[in-house]
Protein backbone atom coordinates (compact mmCIF):
# COMPACT_ATOMS: atom_id res chain seq x y z
CA UNK A 1 0.00 0.00 0.00
CA UNK A 2 1.32 3.42 -0.96
CA UNK A 3 1.87 5.82 1.90
CA UNK A 4 0.79 9.38 1.25
CA UNK A 5 2.98 11.97 2.91
CA UNK A 6 3.25 15.72 3.12
CA UNK A 7 6.94 16.62 2.77
CA UNK A 8 7.89 19.98 4.26
CA UNK A 9 11.55 20.89 3.87
CA UNK A 10 13.14 24.02 5.25
CA UNK A 11 15.44 24.92 2.38
CA UNK A 12 17.17 27.49 4.59
CA UNK A 13 18.20 24.92 7.17
CA UNK A 14 21.86 23.96 7.28
CA UNK A 15 21.44 21.03 4.89
CA UNK A 16 17.95 21.59 3.52
CA UNK A 17 18.84 23.01 0.12
CA UNK A 18 21.38 20.38 -0.88
CA UNK A 19 19.43 17.40 0.49
CA UNK A 20 15.95 18.32 -0.72
CA UNK A 21 16.10 16.59 -4.13
CA UNK A 22 17.84 13.54 -2.67
CA UNK A 23 15.12 13.10 -0.05
CA UNK A 24 12.35 13.40 -2.65
CA UNK A 25 14.01 10.79 -4.89
CA UNK A 26 14.62 8.34 -2.05
CA UNK A 27 11.13 8.68 -0.59
CA UNK A 28 9.59 8.18 -4.04
CA UNK A 29 11.75 5.07 -4.53
CA UNK A 30 10.56 3.78 -1.14
CA UNK A 31 6.97 3.97 -2.35
CA UNK A 32 5.75 7.26 -0.94
CA UNK A 33 3.24 9.40 -2.80
CA UNK A 34 4.42 12.88 -1.84
CA UNK A 35 2.89 16.29 -1.62
CA UNK A 36 6.08 18.36 -1.66
CA UNK A 37 6.06 21.84 -0.14
CA UNK A 38 9.41 23.63 0.18
CA UNK A 39 9.24 26.22 2.94
CA UNK A 40 11.19 29.38 3.67
CA UNK A 41 10.15 29.87 7.27
CA UNK A 42 8.40 27.82 9.89
CA UNK A 43 5.67 30.40 10.48
CA UNK A 44 3.49 28.93 7.67
CA UNK A 45 3.84 25.30 8.76
CA UNK A 46 0.56 25.11 10.69
CA UNK A 47 -1.44 26.41 7.72
CA UNK A 48 0.26 23.98 5.33
CA UNK A 49 -0.48 21.03 7.58
CA UNK A 50 -4.10 22.14 7.96
CA UNK A 51 -4.39 22.55 4.18
CA UNK A 52 -2.91 19.17 3.22
CA UNK A 53 -3.32 17.09 6.39
CA UNK A 54 -6.50 15.28 5.39
CA UNK A 55 -4.90 14.06 2.15
CA UNK A 56 -1.95 12.27 3.79
CA UNK A 57 -1.05 9.48 6.22
CA UNK A 58 1.91 11.30 7.77
CA UNK A 59 3.92 14.50 7.64
CA UNK A 60 7.65 14.35 6.91
CA UNK A 61 9.57 17.43 8.02
CA UNK A 62 13.09 18.25 6.89
CA UNK A 63 14.79 20.85 9.02
CA UNK A 64 16.20 21.42 12.45
CA UNK A 65 14.70 21.49 15.91
CA UNK A 66 13.07 24.89 15.35
CA UNK A 67 11.30 23.68 12.23
CA UNK A 68 10.14 20.52 14.01
CA UNK A 69 8.78 22.51 16.94
CA UNK A 70 6.82 24.59 14.45
CA UNK A 71 4.65 21.58 13.53
CA UNK A 72 3.86 20.06 16.93
CA UNK A 73 0.47 21.67 17.57
CA UNK A 74 -0.78 21.11 14.03
CA UNK A 75 0.24 17.45 14.07
CA UNK A 76 -1.58 16.98 17.35
CA UNK A 77 -4.69 18.71 15.99
CA UNK A 78 -4.69 16.50 12.89
CA UNK A 79 -3.56 13.33 14.73
CA UNK A 80 -0.79 12.71 12.19
CA UNK A 81 2.55 10.99 12.76
CA UNK A 82 5.79 12.84 12.09
CA UNK A 83 8.69 11.58 9.98
CA UNK A 84 11.95 13.42 10.62
CA UNK A 85 14.66 14.31 8.11
CA UNK A 86 17.36 15.85 10.32
CA UNK A 87 18.59 18.80 8.27
CA UNK A 88 19.44 21.27 11.00
CA UNK A 89 22.54 22.08 12.99
CA UNK A 90 22.03 20.24 16.28
CA UNK A 91 19.14 17.90 15.41
CA UNK A 92 18.57 17.24 19.12
CA UNK A 93 15.18 15.56 18.69
CA UNK A 94 16.39 13.29 15.90
CA UNK A 95 19.45 12.28 17.90
CA UNK A 96 17.35 11.61 20.99
CA UNK A 97 15.11 9.32 18.92
CA UNK A 98 18.14 7.60 17.29
CA UNK A 99 17.19 8.82 13.82
CA UNK A 100 20.26 8.79 11.58
CA UNK A 101 21.49 12.14 10.25
CA UNK A 102 22.29 10.37 6.99
CA UNK A 103 19.38 11.21 4.67
CA UNK A 104 19.01 7.79 2.96
CA UNK A 105 19.04 6.08 6.36
CA UNK A 106 16.56 8.58 7.83
CA UNK A 107 14.25 7.97 4.85
CA UNK A 108 14.49 4.23 5.47
CA UNK A 109 13.52 4.73 9.13
CA UNK A 110 10.44 6.66 7.98
CA UNK A 111 9.55 3.98 5.42
CA UNK A 112 9.70 1.26 8.08
CA UNK A 113 6.82 3.03 9.80
CA UNK A 114 7.75 2.41 13.42
CA UNK A 115 5.93 4.92 15.58
CA UNK A 116 7.47 6.15 18.84
CA UNK A 117 5.29 7.98 21.30
CA UNK A 118 7.10 10.73 23.20
CA UNK A 119 6.25 13.23 25.89
CA UNK A 120 5.82 16.86 24.91
CA UNK A 121 6.45 20.00 26.86
CA UNK A 122 3.92 22.83 27.19
CA UNK A 123 4.89 26.45 27.65
CA UNK A 124 3.11 29.72 26.85
CA UNK A 125 0.22 27.89 25.21
CA UNK A 126 2.34 25.81 22.83
CA UNK A 127 3.66 22.27 22.76
CA UNK A 128 7.33 21.58 22.13
CA UNK A 129 9.58 18.56 21.73
CATH architecture of 3-128: 3-Layer(aba) Sandwich (3.40)
What is the per-residue pLDDT for 13?
60
DSSP conformational letter for 7: E
pLDDT score, position 55: 98
| Per-residue model confidence as pLDDT tens for the chain (129 residues) | 679 999 998 776 657 778 888 999 999 999 999 999 878 777 889 999 999 999 999 999 998 898 899 999 999 999 999 999 999 889 999 999 999 999 999 999 999 998 999 999 999 998 999
The residue ranges of every structural domain in the chain are: 3-128
Residues 107 and 61: their CA atoms lie apart, in Å, by 11
- Which has the closest alpha carbon to 110: 96, 97, 99, 95? 99
pLDDT at 89: 86
58-88: b or e for each residue (b if 16 or more CB lie within 10 Å)?
A: bbbbbbbbebbbbbbbbbeebebbbbbbbbb
pLDDT for 73 equals 95
Query: What is the pLDDT at residue 92?
Result: 96
Ramachandran bin of 113, using left for φ above 0, alpha for ψ from -120 to 50, beta for the remaining angles:
left
Alpha-carbon gap, residue 125 to 127, rounded angstroms: 7
Find residue 7's DSSP bridge partners: 36, 60
pTM of the model: 0.93
Amino acid sequence: MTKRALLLVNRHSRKGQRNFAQAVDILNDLGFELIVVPIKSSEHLPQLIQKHGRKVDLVIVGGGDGTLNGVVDSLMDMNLPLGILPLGTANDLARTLNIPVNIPQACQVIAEGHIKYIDLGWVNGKHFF
